[in-house]
Structure 1
Amino acid sequence: MDGSRRQFLAAAGAGLASLAGCTAPEGDPSVAGLDAPDDQPFAELYEAASPSVVRLRVYDSRGVLAEGSGWLYDDGVLVTNAHVVAGGETVRAQFANGDWVTAELLGSDPYSDLAALAVEPPMDATPLPLLDEQPRVGTRVAAAGAPLGLEGSLTTGVVSGVNRTISSVRNFTISGAIQTDAAVNPGNSGGPLLTLEGTVAGVITQAGGENIGFAVSSALTERVIPELVETGSYQHSYLGVRILPVTPLLADANGLDDARGVYLAAVPAGSPADGVLQGGTETVSVGGSPQPTGGDVIVALDGTTIDTTGQLGTYLALETSPGDTVGVTVIRDGEEQTVEVTLGTRPDPR
């Protein structure tokens, strides 16, 4: 990384903030609302970050199996999506200078759709830092990678939503995902969603529709990737319950004051919650719609309010580990009480 690139990644945020508050002097030819020639934050971002973003090509015995993107997380470690490298025998990475190098799979986690690869990067490729807090909705971001195999691409937008619960390409639930309107296409998978400061807000994982893309959060990435590098796998906390969101109709059926919390539809035998938490037992009709009743409604974990299924998943993913004992506050038979559950390990998806 040369001196100018270091200076950009360290100081771009402050510089952009000051530019945003400036007014053009009289006689300035720039048009209001458009960037002046010397105010091109996305161009500067691309120049600074592109040496650390790669195009990936994955091969099996029949030839090219998949293509995707990745980025340099640490010295010699690339991050991408698990679904990009799944089933591959050989992975090659193309850096911004055009060179192709062989990458070795260190580990992958289908539940978070993250994978770590070992690689020898060129001298100008340096690790991209992870954002250390959740981005605000409206934060300007850019998706870098190789959509449709077009290496060195950058699309721009904003953070459209946070704390999204999405289904991965393999139909596993990922909590705390980042939503963006930056264009995301096949081949972007595994690339970084970058802030203007050059930090990674998330790992692009899929498109959800027109102007809707999703990224695995930086917080989950920071938990998973070091374990993949060290051990080749990652163990997720497991409560072992089947859940439903609390809708107004479900709240009416269960005598709840508010439509908030997470309803336990079932507690399978042998799960960590078996014998501690209570699943639904009956069904009643509310306004002509069948609604389950009799199950616990989770409203807090270790004192942290849980209003939605997404909040439950995010707390378990980011704040707990297998073997932890958590205090689960539930509404049961109209009364609030707290019980303790020792978390297990999420079963092997195979």
Structure 2
Amino acid sequence: MPTRRDVLAGGGTVAAGAFAGCVQVGSSRGQQSEGGQSGGQDDPAGGTTTVYQETLPSVVGVLVYGRSGPASQGSGFVGPDGSVLTNEHVVANASDVKLRFDDNEWRDATVSGTDPYSDLAVLEPNGTPSEATPLSFVDTDPEPPVGTPVLAIGSPYGFTGSASEGIVSGIDRLLPAPNDFQIADAVQTDAALNPGNSGGPLVTFEGDVVGVVSSAGGENVGFAISAALAKRVVPALAEDGSYDHPFMGTSLLEVTPAVAETYGLENVGGVVVADVLPDGPAQGVLRPAGDTTVTNGVSVPTGGDVVRGMGGTEVETMADLSNVLALDTSPGDTIPVTVIRDGAETTVDLTLGARPDP
């Protein structure tokens, strides 16, 4: 089956945004739009209007029914394997799901798999219109840099076929996930995001998906689950219904100036092992903090290992560590972890477990 990338010509990047959270069906004001919010009459080949028109047929509105009737709605899109991708929080606890394609074509769908830890879900539609060809994920080696124009297409407030334009305004962001975990490698955008955009695609001018729109953090600050993470999670959701995330079994604290001063570190960088889960993967391998002290008015755990490298990758921030775990490892892998312990650098081998269910 040809993908949207096969259809689109030219290069560059796109425009746009998305929003976290779905919108309650009762509050939806929207009707199907005629052309969204993008472009102009003299849009050049490969420009915003071209990308919008070529991508729109593959974008869906997701209407979710609970036990008591219509519950919420969001967005989604046809992924590389022909299934429909959206956010986990859009379809959580759904008893019935309807998909609204372009030109008001409706299809029933079943939930093939969900993953709260990445906020991704895979839906299996009861057929798709011929125009709804799969969208491809962007090449993530390297990932699109900050400044890349992007376009988000979805159904904010139920207004189907809406588009918002912006840029990739940040990468390697961490988003909250259940049980105090975090979603690694998130893409930040300044595109306008509103309820109902959740689950829609954030695409480049080549029509490739940079991320799956997930959340908004404030004015001109929105986030999408990265293509790199989706490439790992989505195939497992489609095949097995779930995805096993690697697990260290630790509580961690990013090194700040106060932490660096407490530990006598020359540079502000790394992650402190604040605690280790009993009988977890890190027990007996990584040393947790045993006490606390106050430095510059800040309470700092003391005595724990300071992680400075993992799997051969330097760890300067919590995002560095989270990205290595999420994108480069799997449960059962044994990886070298470089730590500063008692003022000296040493390397230990850590065998990762599987993250417990939320």
The TM-score normalised by the length of structure 2 is 0.88
Structure 2 CA distance for aligned equivalents of residues 35 and 85 of structure 1: 35
1:49 matched to 2:55: yes
Distance 1:49-1:285 versus aligned 2 partners, 3 A rule: same
2:297 pairs with 1:278 = no
Structure 1 position 312, deviation (Å): 0.6
Residue 13 of structure 1 aligns to a residue in which SS? Answer: coil
Question: Which structure's CA Rg is the greater one?
Answer: 1
| Separation in structure 2 between the aligned mates of residue 74 and residue 142 of structure 1, nearest angstrom | 18
The answer to whether residue 69 in structure 2 is matched with residue 63 in structure 1 is yes
Residues 78 and 128 from structure 1, CA distance in 2 versus in 1: closer, same or farther, beyond 3 angstroms?
A: same
Q: Secondary structure at the match of 1:12?
A: coil
CA distance in 2, matches of 1:15, 1:93: 28
Q: Percent identity?
A: 48
| Residue of structure 2 aligned with 1:39, choices 44, 58, 63 | 44
Over the residues paired in the alignment, what is the CA RMSD in angstroms?
2.1
Offset of residue 168 of structure 1: 4.1
- Which 5+ residue runs of structure 1 have no aligned equivalent? 17-33
Structure ranking higher on relative contact order (CA contacts 8 Å, 6+ apart): 2
Cα distance in 1, alignment partners of residues 334 and 49 from structure 2: 48
String of CA shifts for 1:111-161, please: whole Å, max 9, x gaps.
000000011110011000001211100000011110111100100000000
Report the counterpart of residue 138 of structure 2 in structure 1: 131
Q: Which residue type is aligned with residue 346 of structure 1?
A: R
Q: Residues 171, 262 of structure 1: CA spacing in aligned structure 2 closer, same or farther, 3 A cutoff? A: closer
Corresponding residue number in structure 2 for 1:85? 91
Q: For residue 27 of structure 1, what is the aligned residue in structure 2?
A: none
State the match for 1:212 in structure 2. Answer: 221
**Ranges of 4+ aligned residues in structure 1 off by more than 6 Å:** none
CA shift at 1:231, angstroms? 0.5
CA contact (8 A) 1:110 1:170 kept: no
Q: Deviations over 1:201-250 (max 9, x none)?
A: 00000111000100000010000000001100000000110000100111
1:122 paired residue number: 129
Between the aligned partners of 1:291 and 1:225, the Cα distance in structure 2 is 39
Q: Deviation string for 1:91-119 (max 9, x for gaps)?
A: 00000121110011100000000000011
- Corresponding residue for 2:182? 173
Residue of structure 2 equivalent to 1:100: 106
- Kindly indicate whether residue 166 of structure 2 is the aligned counterpart of residue 157 of structure 1: yes
Q: Deviations over 1:312-349 (max 9, x none)?
A: 11110000000000100000000000000100000010
Q: Deviations over 1:32-91 (max 9, x none)?
A: xx9781427111011100000000000012111110000000354000000000011000
Determine the C-alpha separation between the residues in 2 that align with 1:56 and 1:47.
Answer: 20
1:275-324 residue CA offsets vs partner (Å, 9 max, x unmatched):
11001112222233332210000000122101101111111000000000
Deviation at 1:172, TM superposition (A): 4.3
- After superposition, give the CA deviation of every residue in 1:141-199 in whole Å (9 maximum; x if it has no partner): 01111011110010000000000011148864101000001111110000000111100
Residue 107 of structure 1 aligns with an amino acid whose one-letter code is: G
> Match of 1:28?
none
CA distance in 1, matches of 2:13, 2:232: 31
Q: How many residues align?
A: 330
Which residue of structure 2 aligns with residue 112 of structure 1? 118
Aligned-partner Cα distance in 2 for 1:317–1:84: 22
Paired AA for residue 10 in structure 2: A
Which residue, out of 321, 330, 355, partners 1:346?
355
Q: What is residue 335 of structure 2 aligned with on the other side?
A: 326
For residue 74 of structure 2, what is the amino acid of its counterpart? Answer: G
Distance 2:72 2:82 in 1: 22
- Give yes or no for contact 2:57–2:132 (8 Å, CA) kept in 1: yes
Separation in 1, partners of 2:311, 2:178: 31
Q: Secondary structure at the match of 1:269?
A: coil
Q: Distance in 2 between matches of 1:169 and 1:150?
A: 30
Contact 2:2 2:134 in 1 (8 A): no
What is the CA–CA distance in structure 2 between the aligned matches of 1:334 and 1:265, rounded to whole Å?
16
The answer as to whether partners of 1:165 and 1:176 remain within 8 angstroms in 2 is yes
Contact 1:75 1:126 in 2 (8 A): no
Q: How far, CA to CA, are the matches of 1:36 and 1:145 in structure 2?
A: 22
